[in-house]
Amino acid sequence: MDTPERPQLYLITPPEIELSSFPDRLASVLDAQPVACVRLDLATRDEDRIARAADGLREVTHARDIALVLTDHTLMSERLGLDGVHLTDAARSVRATRKALGPDAIVGSFCGASRHDGMTAGEAGADYVSFGPVRASNLDDGSFAESALFQWWSEMIEVPVVAEGGLDAATVAQLAPFTDFFGIGGEIWDSDDPVGALAALTAALG
């Protein structure tokens, strides 16, 4: 597969957002650099909070013709008029989700560091596969997606791939030749200046 010269940006919201301020913060980032997609990735399972957040962010993203997907909640994604879902159970629900949402919805699949899960998700109809985190840490079991996985994927598999989790400028530069998207979340939202943080993170992309 010919990976685009410059990977696209895929923004991931914080697990908690303040609706009085976050849509404006998001808008400033979207206006600063081209972004392909935004993922609403809240920790809450409160339907009302998810719906209100989706309504607030949808105004920002759709005004800029940017896709907005929701983590896991397939039925809510459809009801709220979002562009699709990002599934976190590897490949297990891709096929059923694709059937439920139809061919035009975005269905993405997070597959950790598993090449097998990624291939299975792609075969089941995922529009993209996400691997990460991309650096070792003490979180979870410490496993991470090595650069060799992205290189192999870019050479062998046509399904677009996202690198996410633990990104820094060095890993962005290292993975840029082998990934289609960078999934960027806490790397910028934890900063007082998310626009500046994104610029520093992606400076290696040119």
Tens digits of per-residue pLDDT, 187-196? Answer: 999 999 999 9
Res. 5: pLDDT tops 80: no
CATH code (residue 48): 3.20.20.70
Q: How many domains does the chain have?
A: 1
User: What is the pTM (predicted TM-score) of this model?
Assistant: 0.95
DSSP H or E run through 129: strand 128-131
pLDDT at 206: 66
Supply the range of the domain harboring residue 146. 8-205
pLDDT digits (tens, 9 = 90+) for 86-128: 999 999 999 999 999 999 999 999 999 999 999 999 999 999 9
- Whether residue 2 is contained in a domain is answered as no
196 CA to centre of own chain: 20
Work out whether the CA dihedral 43, 48, 53, 54 comes out positive or negative: positive
Residue 169's pLDDT band (boundaries 50, 70, 90)?
very high
Does residue 153 belong to any structural domain of this protein?
Answer: yes
Residue 33 has pLDDT above 50, yes or no: yes
Taking all residues of the chain, what is their mean pLDDT, rounded to a whole number? 94
Residue 174 forms part of a structural domain? yes
In a domain, 1, yes or no: no
For residue 181, being part of any structural domain is answered with: yes
What is the average per-residue pLDDT within 181-190? 97
How far is it, in rounded angstroms, from Cα 181 to Cα 165?
12
CB atoms within 10 A of CB 129: 27
Residue 186 has pLDDT above 90, yes or no: yes
**pLDDT recorded at residue 3:** 43
Residue 3, domain member (yes or no): no
pLDDT tens for each residue of 118-155: 999 999 999 999 999 998 876 677 789 999 999 999 99
Q: Does residue 180 lie in a domain region?
A: yes
Phi and psi, residue 198, nearest 5°: -65, -40
Question: Which percentage of the chain shows pLDDT scores above 90?
Answer: 90
The answer to whether position 197 is within a domain reads yes
